[in-house]
Amino acid sequence: MSSISSNPIESLSTGFIYNLELFALTLLLALPLGLIIMFFTTSKFKPLAWVSKVFVWIIRGTPLMLQLFVVLYAPGLLFEIPMSNRFTAAVIAFVINYACYFSEIYRGGIESIPKGQYEAGQVLGMTRSQIFFKIILLQVIKRIIPPMGNEVITLVKDTSLSRIIGIAEIIMCAERFTKQGLIWPLFSTGLYFLLFNGILTILFGFIEKKMDYFRA
């Protein structure tokens, strides 16, 4: 946990860097992990699919705040291997949580494609990989962009939960100034989130327009 600057703007900006680092690492690791979990949950090997579905159900059905505590304290309590780095614990908890949500978005996108398109590709003599990459994939990407955008924006805001395990993110920094009698730093944290989420909203809107080649 870093020291807090006496300058409110400097302190808030430094704290927001923790939010951005947690956001970036979660997105970088959760996107591919979610794809792997999706393949597990849709596997024809029933035991693997069942275990994966139960795992996703547990993660999606419990609060992220609780998962942060579990990741931070469970290794030490159960295996006597304490988690030495709180930021690492936050990254692990966030990655697991969001990977499960992303896996369901992937699954929904793939299952939304009509089976007739797979059959049409087979009639044309295309292989499974050709059907997936040339016909299915681009349509899936287009369909999952809106829900994926919502989850990414939610992730930005959820990074503030990391303060409960001692990460000096922006809201924790603002709270320390509130104890000193300054209230405006706490409210100004909203400007940081609004600005960053505004940029993401414009970015996802641009991506949706760029991928408007499918009308189906």
Other CB atoms within a 10 A radius of the CB of residue 87 amount to: 18
Residue 1 lies in a domain: no
Q: What is the mean pLDDT of residues 114-138?
A: 81
Q: Which residue has the tokens 């614990």?
A: 89
Contact 17, 82 (CB under 8 A): no
Contact 173, 12 (CB under 8 A): yes
Nearest Cα residue to 4 out of 189, 202, 177, 180: 177
Q: How many residues does the chain have?
A: 216
Residue 215 lies in a domain: no
Domain harbouring 163, CATH code: 1.10.3720.10
Residue 69 lies in a domain: yes
- Measured distance CA(194)–CA(156) in Å, rounded: 10
Q: Which residues contact 109 (CB under 8 A, 6 or more apart)?
A: 140, 141, 143, 144
Query: Which pLDDT tens digit goes with each residue over 37-89?
Result: 999 999 999 999 999 999 999 999 999 999 999 999 999 998 888 898 999 99
Domain count, the chain: 1
Mean pLDDT of the chain: 90
- Is residue 213 pLDDT above 50, yes or no? yes
Torsion on CA atoms 187, 188, 190, 191, rounded to nearest 10: 150
Residue 39 lies in a domain: yes
Q: Which residues contact 146 (CB under 8 A, 6 or more apart)?
A: 204, 208
Range of the domain at 188: 8-210
Residue 3 lies in a domain: no
Which of 10-14, 82-86, 110-114 has the lowest average pLDDT? 110-114
Give the DSSP letter of residue 2. P
Check residue 5 and give its pLDDT. Answer: 59
- Measured distance CA(111)–CA(129) in Å, rounded: 17
